[in-house]
Amino acid sequence: EPEVTQTPSHQVTQMGQEVILRCVPISNHLYFYWYRQILGQKVEFLVSFYNNEISEKSEIFDDQFSVERPDGSNFTLKIRSTKLEDSAMYFCASSTEWGSDTQYFGPGTRLTVL
Amino acid sequence: SQQGEEDPQALSIQEGENATMNCSYKTSINNLQWYRQNSGRGLVHLILIRSNEREKHSGRLRVTLDTSKKSSSLLITASRAADTASYFCATPTGGGNKLTFGTGTQLKVEL
């Protein structure tokens, strides 16, 4: 069964460093998402992406964040200058349809900012 | 209350018993989804129920949706130790595809 994959599974970085989290969505999916979950808290939406542009973003997704689909398979989340509060589990998801279809999540990348 | 609140927050049962988790939401929805998360792991999609459906089954899972009460329930029958996880409801909100998750129910199934 096709699945969303994410790399790395765990990333440790120093505050102020840039990190890139990588995702390979399911191949025939058109919509891509990033969510995050701070330890012990709710899963929160960050951004959705379709047709090579951001469709929607949350207040969390400020200028420090960016997303890109550099080729036909990868979908990346970049945090330019990490802060301690960026420490969280980051989930990538993908879906085939807008607004009415299942979103399939990857296993997550645990980001630890020291 | 927030969009997507589950209760109870925690539930502990014996293997073989049924587990029922509830979710309430505030805004109109076109579907509601349930996910499972094992400790520290990813989110696994369990079932999606559309706003024009009242009940849906998948294996040992039974989901109901009452749009008049803005609530849903997830029933796991004949629970197993492997069902131990957190369960979340999620709804698309804001007119787009953004999923808003609830706070989750932590289910523990003991042998």
Q: Average pLDDT, stretch A100-106?
A: 85
Chain segment B53-87, per-residue pLDDT in tens: 999 999 999 999 999 999 999 999 999 999 999 99
Chain segment A25-63, per-residue pLDDT in tens: 998 898 999 999 998 888 999 999 998 999 999 999 999
Nearest to B98 among A42, A45, A101 (CB): A45
Contacts of B41 in chain A (CB under 8 A): 107-108
Contacts of A104 in chain B (CB under 8 A): 45
Nearest to A106 among B42, B90, B92 (CB): B42
Q: Average pLDDT, stretch A85-97?
A: 93
Q: Is the pLDDT of residue B25 over 80?
A: yes
Contacts of B96 in chain A (CB under 8 A): 48, 55-56, 98-99
* Whole-number pLDDT of residue A28: 86
* Whole-number pLDDT of residue B2: 45
Q: Is A56 on the interface with B (CB under 8 A)?
A: yes
* Whole-number pLDDT of residue B103: 87
d(CA A93, CA A14): 26
Whole-number Cα distances in Å, B6 to A59, A93, B3, B14, B75: 24, 22, 10, 21, 13
Distance from CA of B31 to the nearest CA of A (A): 6
A48 to B50: CB separation less than 8 angstroms, yes or no: no
Q: Are A89 and A110 in contact (CB under 8 A)?
A: yes
Q: Is A34 on the interface with B (CB under 8 A)?
A: no
Q: Is A40 on the interface with B (CB under 8 A)?
A: no
Chain segment B42-57, per-residue pLDDT in tens: 899 999 999 999 999 9
